[in-house]
């Protein structure tokens, strides 16, 4: 009763204790690692991560930032920058108000890595990563982000890559280049790296409804008196003026120690 007397109701419908907002959630996170040496200088390694959190009562939409999950980066899906992947199929590239950091309540990650010696301190690796994050509840600001059992497997991003490691015995310095080959936030066949490999026209055409008129207006401002491009042609200028992030860019990751 004393605790209840110290609670106040904030404007968003959540309670505060001594005028400080607090969160309520349940969170679990698990990791499984399997390693197999084939020869003295080669080995195969597998990692799987699964975690989830359920916000309840005073946590209206999601878990606190510090306890949320993120995807991408040097120890995750290495074809995506840290905290830029997901959540789910949320089309961040079409959101002009997108945030640079994306977090979620549920995560899945699987990584397979083949390691080999290149002589001396030099080690090499070939790897494949798969994973994503999702929200537990629907997020109206990030449509497509909610975890749905019937759909989540279609929203698992894929990347492949190669790495160079400098093994100094007392520590390992790591360089990994990851290439995204499947991005679940893109539409239809544009999800795959190999679609429109050179022009990426299908990808940029996704942005016509959001950025087409902006691209036309910018073109006319830079070329007064010119014939304005049609809306269907505007994808070329969406690309030229970088109104959408460039897709399927290889990512260079730095790390200390092995990823798992």
In DSSP notation, 111-140 reads: EEEEEEEEETTEEEEEEEEEEEEEBSS--T
Whether 34 is covered by a domain: the verdict is: yes
Question: Both 35 and 154 in a single domain?
Answer: yes
56 and 88 inside one domain: yes
Question: What pLDDT sits at residue 16?
Answer: 67
Q: Same domain, yes or no, for 220 and 155? A: no
The pLDDT > 90 percentage for the chain reads: 74
Mapped onto helix, strand or coil, the DSSP state of residue 19 is: coil
pLDDT of 203 > 80? The answer is: yes
Give a yes or no: residue 132 inside a domain: yes
* Claim to verify: residue 179 and residue 64 sit in the same structural domain: yes
Same structural domain for residues 33 and 144? yes
Query: Is residue 5 scored above 60 in pLDDT?
Result: no
- Per residue in 55-81, pLDDT tens? 877 666 778 888 999 999 999 999 999
- Does 199 map to a domain? no
What pLDDT is attached to residue 55?
83
Q: How many domains does the chain have?
A: 2
- Looking at the structure, do residues 86 and 110 belong to the same domain, yes or no? yes
Q: What is the dihedral of CA 253, 164, 114, 47, to 10 degrees?
A: -30
Q: Where are the alpha helices (DSSP H) in the chain?
A: 2-5, 201-205, 208-222, 235-240
Residue 9 has pLDDT above 70, yes or no: no
Q: How far apart are CA 227 and CA 44, in angstroms?
A: 59
pTM of the model: 0.86
pLDDT of 167 above 70: yes
Judge if 56 and 184 occupy the same domain: yes
Give pLDDT, residue 58: 66
Give the pLDDT mean for 18-32: 83
Confidence of residue 22 (pLDDT cuts 50, 70, 90): confident
Note whether 68 and 109 are same-domain residues.
Answer: yes
- 223, 94: one domain: no
CATH value at residue 38 = 2.40.160.50
Buried b (16+ CB within 10 A) or exposed e, 208-228: bebbbebbbebbeeeeeeeee
**pLDDT for 41 beyond 70:** yes
Choice between 25 and 173, residue whose per-residue pLDDT is larger: 173
Instruction: Say whether pLDDT at 174 is over 80.
Output: yes
Same-domain status, 157 and 218 = no
Q: Is residue 231 domain-resident?
A: yes
User: Among all chains, which residue has been given the structure tokens 């109701």?
Assistant: 9
Residue 179 is assigned to a structural domain of this protein: yes
How confident is the model over 9-23, as a mean pLDDT? 64
Q: Per the domain annotation, does 29 fall within a domain?
A: yes
Q: What is the mean pLDDT of the chain?
A: 91
Please indicate, yes or no, whether residues 76 and 119 belong to a single structural domain of this protein.
yes
pLDDT at 146: 96
Q: 228 with 124, same domain?
A: no
Is residue 6 one of the residues assigned to a domain?
Answer: no
Q: Does residue 28 lie within any of the structural domains?
A: yes
Whether the per-residue pLDDT at 3 is higher than 60: the answer is: no
Say what the pLDDT of residue 156 is: 98
Position with higher pLDDT, 207 vs 196: 207
Q: Provide the residue range defining the domain that includes 81.
A: 22-194+246-256
């Amino acid at each position: 009763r004393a605790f209840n007397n110290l609670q106040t109701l904030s404007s968003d419908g959540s309670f505060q204790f001594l005028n400080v907002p607090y969160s309520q959630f349940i969170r679990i996170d698990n990791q499984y690692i399997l390693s197999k040496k084939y020869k003295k200088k080669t080995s195969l390694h597998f990692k799987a991560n699964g975690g989830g959190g359920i916000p309840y009562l005073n946590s209206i939409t999601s878990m606190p930032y510090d306890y949320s999950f993120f995807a991408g980066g040097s120890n995750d899906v290495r074809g995506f920058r840290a905290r830029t992947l997901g959540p789910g199929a949320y089309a961040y590239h079409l959101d002009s108000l997108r945030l640079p950091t994306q977090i979620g309540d549920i995560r899945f990650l699987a990584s397979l890595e083949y390691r080999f010696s290149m002589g001396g301190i030099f080690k090499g690796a070939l790897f494949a990563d798969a994973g994503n994050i999702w929200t537990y509840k629907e997020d109206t600001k990030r449509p497509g982000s909610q975890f749905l059992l019937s759909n989540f497997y279609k929203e698992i991003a894929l990347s492949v890559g190669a790495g160079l490691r400098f093994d100094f015995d007392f520590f390992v310095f790591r360089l990994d280049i990851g290439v995204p080959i499947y991005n679940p936030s893109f539409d239809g066949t544009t999800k795959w790296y190999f679609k429109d490999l050179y022009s990426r026209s299908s990808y940029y055409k996704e942005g016509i409804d959001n950025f087409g008129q902006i691209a036309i207006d910018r073109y006319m401002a830079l070329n007064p008196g010119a014939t304005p491009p049609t809306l269907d042609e505007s994808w070329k200028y969406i690309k030229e003026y970088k109104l959408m992030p460039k897709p399927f860019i290889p990512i260079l990751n730095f790390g200390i120690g092995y990823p798992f």
